[in-house]
Amino acid sequence: MRRETSEPGASSQGRDGFGRSIPGFPAAAYAYCRHRGRETAQPDQGAGEAPWALGPPLGLPPAAARRLERQPQAGTKDLAGGGASAAPLPRKRKRFRPPGCSRELLRAEYPHHVWAIDLQFDQTMDGRRLKFLNVIDEFSRACLTIGVGRRCKAVDGITTIEGLLNQHPAPTHLRMDNGAEFIANALQEWCMGNGSATAYIPPGSPWENPFVESFNGRLRDEFLNMELFASLAKAKVLAEQHRIEYNVYRPHSALHGHTPLEVIQQWKAA
């Protein structure tokens, strides 16, 4: 029986089950795979440690070595009990930001200087869509409201903002994206009539609305992905409970460990 060898500096190639050479597949990797196959088929034979228990052989390309190291060991099972090791989760790609696209952003210098507005989507248990209109005060990071409805047009946005003016002063600026409900003439005319300027971010640039985008991510992870909404009314009640908990009890690293409510109280006391 012919024995395959792999010496340093040799240019030998691995062979498949029919003895044909496999271009670009080193003999060391082929021998390693054959050893893993024997180890899987006969896990109880031999009392010594596997020759390559500490990792793949030297001389492998980095990509091939990583693939071999990810192969499941003999007798392993996935957490779901299916008997086969689970495939690695896909790596989340970072959002591409074109070079030179950053610009100086308007920064909030006091409470209710800049309000950031954005929409999120979910659904009730019957499959009907829910829209969440989030309004954030950029200075204190406080969530002023989470408006919940089946739809959200410009008129609905105006109604939500007017409801906030009963409890808070009018903002100097409203930061929004270029969604149809935000660029409508009705909302722009309302802003002009109430002395609030609009600060639209460029299309496809969510990083220029960072505070509400950060809130959206936390709302998705801590609330939307955790709750099942039986109805629209139930969604409104749960959203308001989460908003109060977020403002009163949740500290923020960007606020030096304080909650949004504590930041507002410190500003008023200063």
Confidence of residue 237 (pLDDT cuts 50, 70, 90): very high
Instruction: Tell me which of 43 and 156 has the higher pLDDT.
Output: 156
Mean per-residue pLDDT over the chain, rounded? 76
Q: Are 31 and 57 in contact (CB under 8 A)?
A: yes
pLDDT digits (tens, 9 = 90+) for 254-267: 888 999 999 999 99
Confidence of residue 235 (pLDDT cuts 50, 70, 90): very high
Confidence of residue 246 (pLDDT cuts 50, 70, 90): very high
* Percent of the chain at pLDDT exceeding 70: 61
Confidence of residue 62 (pLDDT cuts 50, 70, 90): low
3-state secondary structure the chain: CCCCCCCCCCCCEEECCCCCEEEEEEHHHHHHHHHHHHHHHCCCCCCCCCCCCCCCCCCCCHHHHHHHHCCCCCCCCCCCCCCCCCCCCCCCCCCCCCCCCCCCCCCCCCCCCEEEEEEEEEECCCCCEEEEEEEEECCCCEEEEEEEECCCCHHHHHHHHHHHCCCCCCCCEEEECCCCCCCCHHHHHHHHHCCCEEEECCCCCHHHCHHHHHHHHHHHHHHHCCCCCCCHHHHHHHHHHHHHHHHHCCCEHHHCCECHHHHHHHHHHC
Q: Are 178 and 200 in contact (CB under 8 A)?
A: yes
Largest CA distance in the chain: 91
Residue 4 has pLDDT above 70, yes or no: no
pLDDT of residue 139: 93
**Strands 13-15 and 21-26, bridge-based pairing:** antiparallel
In degrees and rounded to multiples of 5, residue 232 shows phi and psi of: -65, -40
In degrees and rounded to multiples of 5, residue 39 shows phi and psi of: -65, -35
User: How far apart are alpha carbons 8 and 5 in whole angstroms?
Assistant: 10
CA 154-156-161 angle, to 5 degrees, is: 95
pLDDT of residue 8: 46
pLDDT of residue 147: 94
pLDDT digits (tens, 9 = 90+) for 78-98: 444 444 455 666 666 655 444
What is the arithmetic mean of pLDDT over 132-137? Answer: 95
Q: What is the dihedral of CA 7, 12, 14, 15, to 10 degrees?
A: -130
pLDDT digits (tens, 9 = 90+) for 179-229: 888 888 888 888 888 888 888 888 888 888 889 999 999 999 999 999 999
Confidence of residue 142 (pLDDT cuts 50, 70, 90): very high
